[in-house]
Amino acid sequence: MINERLTGTGVALVTPFNEKLEVDYAALKKLLEHISNGEAEYLVILGTTGESATIAPEERFKIIEFVVENNPKQLPLVLGYGSNNTTTIKSALQQFKDYPFDALLSVSPYYNRPSQKGIIRHYQEIADVSPFPVILYNVPPRTGSNLEAATTIELAKHPRIIGTKEAAGDLVQCSEIIANTDDDFLMISGEDALTLPMISLGGNGAISVIANLQPFEFSEMVRLALKGDYKGASKLHFALLEGYELVSAEGNPVSLKTGLEAANIMNRRVRMPLFEGSDDLKNRFIDYLK
């Protein structure tokens, strides 16, 4: 069942770059192996953490094909793809129909700042034509608008909309959604530090940033919480607190890539307009990872 496959920890994959700022596939393979050894439950390709805004269309398909072919444990895959042009995303999605994705993660329309009615219509039309079930993605700091609880509850009635990734930092809003949707509607944390309390309310796990760097620790924390072992989960959560702060210290994915360089998994290069993380942050990661 799709909801069971996407319960636990999904890793929001970064996209490594070489010195020419081309996609570094050797580093991507190393990252996939690292994550696989950490026993995460699924992978999210080309989300915000993957710098999707600066990935060219031809690169997008090469990255997808590479991950499909170099997925050591054949983990379920989720495609990150969104747009603030409803017509564009509806037509573009058909290009992905032959890939083995379990779901589409689509960010709420950004910059346009549509009304809640506009957001509802946007997602309904996407879900009507998407080759994959749809997961909403609410991240107001990036989009400029909040996907309100009532909006998510209304969208949850669509048979092809199976969950939401919540990164609004509002546990009350998450509670309202959980209380007013079916048990099989996925509530996925989009903020690593809020994952444990969100699971305690009835959440299903996280699409995580830090799980690129520490896949075992974070995934195990989520698994323990989902089993109801909050004491064990809390110990891991507290041990990860500094890591949560570090992976957001200079923005995402800038900070995360800096941590991955500190761990000798890949380099910290990012594409403009992002700017690579500082040496000070790298040194803080080195001390943390000890």
Residues 172-208 have pLDDT tens digits of 999 999 999 999 999 999 999 999 999 999 999 999 9
Q: Is residue 95 part of a domain?
A: yes
Confidence class of residue 3 from pLDDT cuts 50, 70 and 90?
A: confident
Residue 29 lies in a domain: yes
pLDDT at residue 38 in the model: 84
Q: Which residues have a Cβ under 8 Å from the Cβ of 29 and sit 6 or more positions away?
A: 66, 70
DSSP secondary-structure letter at 211? G
pLDDT in tens, 40-67: 999 999 999 999 999 999 999 999 999 9
Task: Report the DSSP beta bridge partners of residue 165.
Answer: 137, 188
**Residues facing 213 on adjacent strands:** none
Residue 105 lies in domain:
2-229
The residue-averaged pLDDT of 257-271 equals 98
Whether the Cβ atoms of residue 178 and residue 202 lie closer than 8 Å to each other: yes
Full-model pTM: 0.96
Question: Across the chain, what does the average pLDDT equal?
Answer: 97
69 domain residue, yes or no: yes
Q: How many domains does the chain have?
A: 1
Q: pLDDT class for 2, splitting at 50, 70, 90?
A: confident
123 carries an active-site annotation: no
Question: Residue 34: which CATH number?
Answer: 3.20.20.70
Residues β-bridged to residue 135: 105, 163
125 within a domain of the structure (yes/no):
yes
Gap between the Cα atoms of 78 and 111, Å rounded: 24
How far apart, in Å, are the Cα atoms of 163 and each of 92, 117, 133, 183, 234? 21, 19, 9, 10, 25
The answer, yes or no, to whether residue 1 has pLDDT greater than 90, is: no
Give the model confidence (pLDDT) of 64-90 as tens digits: 999 999 999 999 999 999 999 999 999
Q: How confident is the model at residue 241 (pLDDT cuts 50, 70, 90)?
A: very high
Q: Do the domain assignments include residue 154?
A: yes
ω into 253 cis (within 30 of 0): yes
d(CA 212, CA 210): 5
Average pLDDT over residues 248-257: 98
SS3 track for 52-112: HHHCCHHHHHHHHHHHHHCCCCCCCEEEECCCCCHHHHHHHHHHHCCCCCCEEEEECCCCC
Say whether pLDDT at 265 is over 90.
yes
Q: Confidence band (pLDDT; 50, 70, 90) for 18?
A: very high
Query: Residues 123, 165, 244, 257: which is the catalytic one?
Result: 165
How confident is the model over 225-252, as a mean pLDDT?
98
Question: Which of the residues 81, 137, 257, 282 is marked catalytic?
Answer: 137
For residue 91, give the amino acid letter.
Answer: S
Q: Is residue 116 part of a domain?
A: yes
Domain annotation covers residue 56: yes
Length of the chain: 290
Tokens found for residue 142: 């990036």
Once rounded to an integer, what is the mean pLDDT over residues 131-159? 97
Q: Is the Cβ–Cβ distance between 65 and 40 less than 8 Å?
A: no
Residue 12 CA to its chain's centroid (Å): 4
Model pLDDT, residue 45: 98
- Could you confirm whether 137 is annotated as catalytic? yes
Residue 284 lies inside a defined structural domain of this protein: no
